[in-house]
Chain A
Amino acid sequence: MGIFDKFGKLAEARKALEKSGGEFFSVIIERVISPTEVIIKGRSMVLAGGNNYLGLTFHAECIRAACEAIQKEGTGTTGSRVANGTYSGHAALEQELSEFFGRRKTVIFSTGYIACMAMLSTLVGREEVILLDADCHASIYDGCRMGGADVIRFRHNDIQDLEKRLHRLEKRKTNVLIAVEGLYSMMGDRAPLADIAALKRRYGAYLLVDEAHSLGVLGQTGRGLAEEAGVEDSVDFIVGTFSKSLGAIGGFCTSNHPELDLIRYATRPYIFTASSSPSIIASTRMALKILRSQPELKHRLWNHANLLYQRLKDLGLSLGPAPSPIIAIFCENPLKTAEIWKGLLDHGIYVNMVLPPAAPEGRSLLRCSLSSLHTREQVEKIGDALASLKAKHPEEW
């Protein structure tokens, strides 16, 4: 038996998909025209499958800050945060995030994935328990797997199921961390955070919210779902990423627990990786300033989201439960999803194709995501393309 034989089923699935959505496995963005337009196979595409919610990847001030940092500090730090990889910019960004979230401590990580890995694997240890929403991101699952805690899932956004499990755990008299997300990355739905926070308080648990997709998108000042739901005081740990609304790459955890700093010396994903490059830190700091000072970006994003969601709903498509900058469009099965995905590409629209097990409940979906920088015409074009495909293949949705 060869070392790759165990991937036989994956190879079969890929072969089947190649027949319907052949280009899926060979998408290369040849040129980036703007945050919302790219060239793929020589053709211009509206980019509706990313996470560039505020469209800051090409913001002149972010680019200027990144270029200056490269000139001044070089292309990389070449070291861990606990060795030679903490520059003044890293410390400043942690301070600025603390101020933004109104919390005492912030730790930044090299990616959002690493932030979740670090926190979930280290914060909760042996004999302790993590209660996580079933639809949580792979980084949360992987962090749980890397650590020693007992990991128990509750049904997605199901308050009764969560309470049942908290009740069962009462006898153990141990630390329990509830992990949920602000906006769920595939369906674009929110956690019922006010109810979860109430349970957290009643049962004396800790609460961690991943605001990866809600930073800059939800809440009056863009702090995420905890702000929108008015329960920031009940959230012990907020984790997030710089790779979505902030247009770069990196992750963070912020908290009012003063002991958060101890994580730096305890968690392997922080210690054993190089710190973010100076240009990333500089553009992220600038993007955070813009996020704070230009709320109109968020308003524009939501106008697009509401417009497109309603349009697709009127078409009779099966969608995620509520309007959001992430719009999930459910399709009948993986092969038909691939066909529709290819049809959209032919119409000049790139969206994400999400197949089981990445999509919840074993379903297949097209993930359409919006940016503040989409034009009204681009949003209309996405709707027109889906209307045309729906008319052509009414049975495949």
Chain B
Amino acid sequence: MLSDRELFEQIIPILRPLATDGSEITAETDLVHDLSLDSLKIMEVMAEIEDRFDISVPLNIVSDIRTVRDVVLQIQKLLAEAE
């Protein structure tokens, strides 16, 4: 099982191109407010994450995801369920 830190580091390359002002991505980065992602863009990010970790992220969960930390926690949960 990957640690939260390892998961975070694997998510960064997916999110970094979206920080158009070059700001640093942290666990507290808010996908909507800090990265200005709209719902379509968030779904694209989720699709990349799904491919990267071989999981399916239910839409029901996506609406609860605000920050990068939330993303890490949900991936952790889905990976545990998959095992």
**Which 6 A-B residue pairs are closest in the complex by CB-CB distance?**
A150-B58, A151-B59, A152-B56, A362-B40, A165-B56, A357-B40
Binding site for A on B (CB under 8 A): 38-41, 43, 47, 54-60, 82
Contact A152 B58 (CB under 8 A): yes
Q: Given A153-B43, A168-B56, 18 more contacts at CB 8 Å?
A: A129-B58, A145-B59, A151-B59, A151-B60, A152-B56, A152-B57, A152-B58, A152-B59, A153-B47, A155-B47, A164-B54, A168-B54, A169-B56, A356-B40, A357-B38, A357-B40, A361-B40, A362-B40
- Tell me, rounded to whole Å, the shortest Cβ–Cβ distance linking A310 to chain B: 31
- Interface check A193, CB cutoff 8 A: no
Least CB distance from A11 to B in Å reads: 16
Q: Which residues of B contact A134 (CB under 8 A)?
A: 43
Q: Does residue A48 face the partner (Cβ distance < 8 Å to B)?
A: no
Whole-angstrom distance between the alpha carbons of A164 and B55 in the complex? Answer: 9
Which size class do A's interface residues fall under?
10 to 19
Q: Please give, as numbers and ranges, the residues of chain B lying within 8 Å of A357 by CB-CB distance.
A: 38-40
Bound form: Cα–Cα A230–B54 in Å: 33
Residues of A within 8 A of B58 (CB): 129, 150-152
13 pairs of residues in contact across A and B, judged by CB atoms under 8 Å:
A129-B58, A145-B59, A150-B58, A151-B60, A152-B57, A152-B59, A153-B59, A164-B54, A171-B82, A356-B38, A356-B40, A361-B40, A362-B41
A353 at the interface (CB under 8 A from B): no
Q: Which A133-147 residues have a C-beta within 8 angstroms of B?
A: 134, 144-145
Bound-state CA distance A151–B56 (Å) is 10
Chain A residues positioned under 8 Å from B54 (CB to CB): 164, 168
Q: Which residues does chain B contribute within 8 Å of A155, judged by CB atoms?
A: 47
Q: In the bound complex, how far is the Cα of B57 from the Cα of A151, in angstroms?
A: 8
Q: Which residues of A contact B55 (CB under 8 A)?
A: 168
Q: Give Cα A276 to B55, complex, Å.
A: 43
**In the complex, what distance in Å separates the CA atom of A155 from the CA atom of B46?**
11
Residues of chain A contacted by B38 (CB below 8 angstroms): 356-357
* Residues of chain B within 8 A of A165, CB atoms compared: 56
Give the residues in chain A near B47, CB-CB below 8 Å. 153, 155
Chain B residues contacting A150 (CB-CB under 8 Å) are 58, 60
Determine if B59 and A144 form an interchain contact, defined as CB atoms under 8 angstroms apart.
yes
Q: Are A168's CB and B60's CB within 8 A?
A: no
A180 to chain B, nearest CB (A): 16
Most chain A beta carbons < 10 A, residue from B41, B56, B58: B56
CB A321 to nearest CB in B, in angstroms, measures 20
Chain B nearest CB, measured from A131 CB (Å): 8
CB distance from B54 to the nearest CB of A (A): 7
Q: Which A residues lie within 8 Å of B60 (CB)?
A: 150-151
A152's nearest neighbour on chain B, judged by CB, is: B56
Shortest Cβ gap from B43 to chain A (Å): 7
| CB neighbors of B among A157-176 (8 A) | 164-165, 168-169, 171
List chain B residues, Cβ under 8 A from A361: 40
Residues of B within 8 A of A152 (CB): 56-59
User: Hey, which chain B residues are within 8 Å of A356, CB to CB?
Assistant: 38, 40
Tell me the smallest distance from the CB of B23 to a CB of chain A, in Å. Answer: 21
Bound together, the chains give a CA A259 to CA B55 distance in angstroms of 33
A52 to chain B, nearest CB (A): 30
With both beta carbons as reference points, the residue of chain B lying nearest to A361 in the complex is identified as B40
> Considering the chains assembled together, what is the distance between the CA atoms of A129 and B40 in angstroms?
22
Assembly CA distance A1 to B37 (angstroms): 23
When chains A and B are docked, how far (Å) is the Cα of A169 from the Cα of B55? 10
Question: What separation, in Å, do the CA atoms of A386 and B43 have in the docked complex?
Answer: 33
A151 vs chain B, min Cβ distance (A): 4
- A150 vs B78: C-alpha distance in the bound complex, in angstroms? 13
Alpha-carbon gap, A154 to B31, bound state (A):
22
A313: shortest Cβ distance to chain B, in Å? 27
